Chains A and B, each alone.
Chain A
Amino acid sequence: MTDTISPGADLLLRLQVEDLLYLEADLLDRWQLDEWLALFTPDAHYFVPPNDIDGDTADPNQSLFYINDDHVRMRERVIRLNKVGAHSEHPRSKVRHLVSNVRVRREGDVIHARSSFVVWRSKDITSDAFVGHYLHEIVMSEGAMKISRKTCVLDMEALRPHARISIIL
């Protein structure tokens, strides 16, 4: 991320990225999971690193993660979450994604976005908050912005008392 403030093209790019992140958040909040999946490229990845290592740099091929999804597994995650047999999300949780502090940086063909998030999940008698930052990698594909990589770095010391990341963060 650049720390200087410059007007013009950077600002427009940030607005475009914000629009994409807000759309993503809205689709997840409304459980439009198939539409959510369509925001990603066919070779996309979705990661949630654990709490006790540096989530910005951790490698899912060398460290144990919470979520280590390639596109096949992202697709299967969506299929699963649409089934009654996904007991942890049946009945479904209410979820609310709040995204802010969006910063963008262009590097060749890839747009790197870094943003803060809070995700609330409420079900039964409990309400859990996930707090952290997103790292999105975004590419242009057929004239539209598509997400090629999403990493959710949690700021909590441990995933407690949550017990599960059964929703999509």
Chain B
Amino acid sequence: MRGADMADHPQIIDDRQASRFLVPRQAFTSRETFERECAAIFDRCWLYLGHASELAAPGAFITRKVARRPILFTRDKEGEFHALFNACPHRGALVCRERKGASRAFMCMYHGWTFGSDGHLMSLPGSSGYTENFKTDPQKQMVHVPRMERFGDFFFISFASDGEDLATYLAGAGDFLKLVSEHSDSGMQIVGGTQEYAIRGNWKLLAENSYDGYHAACNHSTYLDYLKNANGALGATPLSGVAHNLGNGHAAVEYSAPWGRPIAQWVPLWGEEGKAEITAIHASLEHRVGPERADRIAHKNRNMVIFPNLVVNDIMAVTVRTFYPTAPDYMEINAWALAPREESEWLRKYRLYNFTEFLGPGGFATPDDVEAIEKCQQGYATGGDALFNDISKGMNRTDAPQFDDEEQMRCFWREWDRRVAMEEA
């Protein structure tokens, strides 16, 4: 049985001597592989749940699906954060049916069992019909997700009760999360309004696409045209940079680019008033973190994938994005904007204007990414001789991998392969 599983499992081909890296297309289409991923990756890895700023006050809550499971993310009256499985211990109905809000108690609409923000059973109608210690029985409380940890203001959960702690798991990705947390001395917050969409394609295609510098010139030619036309939205800075292996399957590209960054890269579109403000922000940043780190924060763009499915893009705006598959050929995506807590109205306006320019279902670039991903998925139906995707670009380099090479994807796939193979062993 095991032997047959191994033979069925689509292995990647990672031949460093021959600079050959091939990913079997079956990895994107097989139902069996999808089930393995759910067990090996989504049931085992640390997964992003939300940002502390989304639960700003005690009593705040959000309901969210994480890897197909309904989760209730709460902050109790003491200000403690909790991640609960959103299902009543009695008959299993969703306890909280609202998307977000503020409440110190959650009543199941089926039989009226009522739970506190920390999930404990506060009251239940007709309690005389139950045994004496029924209400305090651990089995009758809402169930906490086995593990929740925070890194700065980023909350992650794991459905596995064992395994490495979050900081160890994040490895080098931790420093990149810190970089986006340091944009402002007022801290960072999620701005209201979520982009919620879906792609009819395999989730790993979006992981790849998120830091694929190679596709920009062809796939996004009309976006680059737009920047040229749009009254000085394009600066003189060339596109250039490197890829980083951040460990544990996490990777990023870090590069300079011609678009404006509301943190501290000015473009003519923003005018003289904008120039003065950007100069002041940069000076304050330098004062706080030193010139070298300030320069990196302000002028370098970063696209990062934290394995398996958290994208933090620090580009013309700061985006936080997750994508979860519900089938081999379908994923659900949620995207949020991260911004300094305190920022001038002018800058916030341009930040959001920037975000919608490139990013999301109505932007000038994302729809073409979606098209590319869906066309890949459709192309895999051809089968035939080309059964592998080639992602060997830059593998023969002796210097640093470039942002438009494919080293970042190889980091992802090596970890994917290791985890899926582990599941079978």
Q: Which residues in A have some Cβ–Cβ distance to B below 8 Å? A: 48-53, 58, 60-68, 72-73, 76-77, 79-80, 83, 85-89, 124, 126, 158-166
Contact = CB atoms under 8 A, between A and B. Distances in A.
A88 B371 contact: yes
Contacts of B362: 48, 65-67, 164-165
B197 A162 contact: yes
A164 B352 contact: no
Given A50-B193, A62-B191, 8 more contacts: A52-B99, A53-B192, A72-B231, A86-B368, A158-B196, A159-B197, A163-B199, A165-B362
B356 A87 contact: no
30 contacts: A51-B196, A53-B192, A53-B193, A60-B353, A61-B348, A61-B349, A62-B191, A62-B352, A63-B193, A64-B192, A64-B195, A64-B335, A64-B337, A65-B356, A66-B360, A67-B356, A80-B222, A83-B222, A86-B222, A86-B368, A88-B371, A126-B200, A160-B198, A160-B332, A161-B198, A161-B330, A162-B198, A163-B367, A164-B197, A164-B367
A48 B362 CA distance: 8
Contacts of B226: 76, 79-80
Interface string B223-248: 10110011100000000000000000
B45 interface: no
B353 A68 contact: yes
B124 interface: no
Interface string B182-216: 00000000011111111110000000000000000
Contacts of A79: 225-226, 229
Interface string B329-340: 010100111000
A62 B192 CA distance: 7
Could you say which of A88, A89, A159 has the most chain B C-beta atoms within 10 Å of its C-beta?
A: A88
Given A85-B221, A164-B361, A64 B355 contact: yes
A26 to B, nearest CB: 22
Question: Interface size bucket, B side?
Answer: 35 or more
B198 A50 contact: no
Contacts of B197: 158-160, 162-164
A44 to B, nearest CB: 15
Nearest to A168: B362
A159 B195 contact: yes
A73 B360 contact: no
A68 B354 CA distance: 9
Contacts of B388: none
Contacts of A80: 222-223, 225-226, 364
Contacts of A85: 221-222, 225
B370 A88 contact: yes
A163 B193 contact: no
Contacts of A124: 374, 378
